Structure 1
C-alpha cells in the first residue's frame, strides 16, 4: 500500500475545520488520488472518451481516502465507482446505455464496479425508483447538492492538461474527519440511514451524525 505517513494526525488536522484551511485539504486530496492506479485509470478514461461534463464522484473518492487513512486495502468496502456526466441533447435510456457500454469496454477490469449515469435524465426515473420527485438538474455538479450526506459530495476529473480538478460544495473536512453528515436539501432520511449503517460496519472509525440532532 502507498505510504501516507501520520494518518491519525492527518485525520485530526484536516478533519477539523479550525486547524486546517480548505486549500490544505484540497492539496492533500490532490496528493492522494494520483497514487491510486485504478482511480487514475477511471479519470483518464472519462477524459479520453470526452464524455460531456463527466466526473468521478462520491464513494469511489471518499471511501478510497478512508481506506488510506485507516490503512485498509484500496477497494475495501467500495460497492461501485459512480461516473456521472450531463448530456441534455438525448434523454433516452438507449443513449445512456450506449455510454455505459463504452465506458465499461474501456475499463473491462473495473466494469462490474462502474455505475455510469447521465444526470440530465435522472428526474425521469428517480420518483418511480425512490418514491419521491427529483427536480431536473442544470449540470453534473448540480447533482452533488442532492446527495444524502454532505460527506458524499465530492467529485474529481482530469483536465486536458492532466491536472486534477476537484469539486466539493460542502468542503472536505467531513471526509478527512471521517464524519457522515446529513444533507437536508432532499428528504433522504431513509437513504442516509441505510448508507450510515453499511458504512459504520465497514469503517468503525466513522462518526455518524444523526439525521436530526435528537435522534
Structure 2
C-alpha cells in the first residue's frame, strides 16, 4: 500500500498519479506562466485525482473545478483580484475545465458573510490551505523554475491514498465539512468519512 511507503516514495507516487490527469498538468503549466505570487493549484483537483486512480476511474472523473490560489497583500481590492481573474480567463480559455482563481490575502474580507464565522487574515497561501474543512483537502502543488514541483502537504498523503476524509476543525464550520463530505461520498462511495468532533 502506498500509505505504508516511506514519505519520499509517497511523494513520488503522488506526483506520478497527478501526472496522469492531463487537464491538471496543463493547468499547472499555464498557472506557472502567470507569475502569480505564492500560487498553488490546490484542493479537490488534487485529492480527487488520487481517488480516481485508487478506485480505477478516469483521471478527471467527478472533478468540478481546478482551484488556483495566490497571495497578494499589496492590493486587497476586489478590482485587483478581478483583473487577475479576467486575465486567467484568457490563459485557460481552451482548457476543458473551470479554473477558479482567488487571492487568499482577501479571504478575511468576505469569509464571515459567506460562512458565518470570522476568518483571521492569512499571511500566506499555505495558511489558506491549512484552513480547509477536511485535512484531506490540505494539499497544494505548483511548478517552480526548471519544472520542479513544489508540494505542500501538511497532513501527508496516507488519508488521501486510503480514501479517508478527516475533519479539520480549525476554521470552517461543521456544516461546510458535512456538505462537502456528503457531495464527495455521492461521487466516490468508497470513501470513509470520519465524523466532526463533538467535544
User: Are the aligned partners of 1:123 and 1:133 in contact in 2 as well (CA < 8 Å)?
Assistant: yes
Equivalent residue for 1:43? 28
Q: What SS does the corresponding residue of 1:171 show, helix, strand or coil? A: coil
Deviation at 1:212, TM superposition (A): 2.3
In the TM superposition, residue 34 of structure 1 has moved relative to its aligned partner by 2.4
Aligned with residue 80 of structure 2, among 95, 99, 111? 95
Instruction: State the partner residue of 1:14.
Output: 2
State the partner residue of 2:138: 153
Offset of residue 196 of structure 1: 0.9
| Structure 1 residues 111 and 99: CA distance shift in structure 2, 3 A | farther
- Secondary structure of 1:35's counterpart equals coil
Structure-2 residue corresponding to 1:30:
15
Cα root mean square deviation, aligned = 1.5
Q: How far, CA to CA, are the matches of 1:112 and 1:44 in structure 2? A: 14
1:198 to 183, 187, 197: 183
Give the number of equivalent residue pairs: 199
- Give yes or no for contact 1:45–1:103 (8 Å, CA) kept in 2: no
The reply on whether 1:76 has 2:64 as its aligned counterpart is no
Equivalent residue number for residue 51 of structure 2: 66
Judge conservation of contact 1:119–1:143 (CA < 8 Å) in 2.
yes
| Residue in structure 2 matched with residue 171 of structure 1 by the alignment | 156
Tell me the SS of whatever aligns to 2:147. coil
Secondary structure (helix, strand or coil) at the match of 1:87 reads coil
CA distance in 2 between counterparts of 1:152 and 1:180 reads: 9
Deviations 1:47-103 (Å, cap 9, x if unpaired)? 111011111001011101111211212222111111000000110111111111111
TM-score when normalising by structure 2: 0.95
Deviation of 1:187 after TM superposition, in Å, equals 4.5
SS in 2 for 1:135: coil
Residue deviations 1:131-187, cap 9 Å, x none?
110000010111111110000000000011101111101111110111000112125
Unaligned regions of 5+ residues in structure 1, if any? 1-12
SS in 1 for 2:19: helix
In the superposition, relative to structure 1, how do residues 150 and 168 fare at CA in structure 2: closer, same or farther (>3 Å)?
Answer: same
Structure 2: segments with no counterpart, 5+ residues: none
Helix, strand or coil at the partner of 1:205: coil
